[in-house]
Amino acid sequence: MCARGFGSLAAQAVVAVATLGLAGCANEPTRVQPGATAADTLQCLGAPTGRYPLTGGGERLQYSRMPAGFEVTDIDVDASGKVVSVTQVLSEARFGQDIKVDQWRQNDVVAFYGRPYEITRVSSFDGVVWTWRYKAVNERRMLYIYIDPTGVVRRYHTGDDLELDRIRD
């Protein structure tokens, strides 16, 4: 946001205060502050990797660093276009409270975590396993969400990310 075209000092102060909500956010979604506008957020961060409607007329702007990165940040905007929350969702502390086993469907998973790092199958489960990479205290980890053939989340677990070890061997 720039102050050109604003004649009064008061108008320039309003611009400066609005800009503070997004100061330093360039390509870092977690620095966006609640109260910023969706338009300013989009201008600062660029196009999100996903956009999902929220109940009440709001929208989730999702910024994922998959497949190479370890973060997915959900920026929730209310119906008036103001940011109400900014959450880095790939966190072990959150998985137990966020993932709704036997309730979430495939679309719910995508709207919360974005597209996974990979989708695989295992012989012990009739369905697919979606995987996200994340970090816990600088350790590379994986989140595995098991989705049955009807699209319902049946379980999840976490584990070590052994991919780097496989590449080195």
Task: Please give the Cα distance from 54 to 64 (Å, whole number).
Answer: 18
User: Token pair for residue 110?
Assistant: 């995508």
Q: Which residues contact 150 (CB under 8 A, 6 or more apart)?
A: none
CA nearest to 59, candidates 43, 81, 40, 87: 81
Is the domain defined by 9-88 classed in CATH 3.30.1450.10? yes
Model confidence pLDDT, tens digit, residues 132-169: 999 998 899 999 999 999 999 999 999 999 876 555 54
DSSP track, 1-19: ---TT--SHHHHHHHHHHH
Q: In the chain, which residues fall in CATH 3.30.1450.10?
A: 9-88, 92-168
Q: Residue 162 has what pLDDT?
A: 84
* pLDDT at residue 6, as a whole number: 38
Helix or strand or coil: residue 57? Answer: coil
- How confident is the model over 65-89, as a mean pLDDT? 95
* CATH no., domain 92-168: 3.30.1450.10
Locate tokens 């660093």: which residue?
A: 65
Residue 103 bridge partners (DSSP) = none
This prediction's pTM: 0.80
For residue 66, the 8-state DSSP code is T
Per-residue confidence at 11, pLDDT binned at 50, 70, 90?
A: very low
Residue 24 confidence (pLDDT) above 90: no
The mean pLDDT value for 114-134 works out to 96
Mean pLDDT of 75-93: 96
Which pLDDT does position 4 carry in this prediction?
33
Q: Which of 62, 56, 58, 61 is nearest to 78 (CA)?
A: 58
Q: What band does 14 get if pLDDT is binned at 50, 70 and 90?
A: very low
56 pLDDT higher than 50: yes
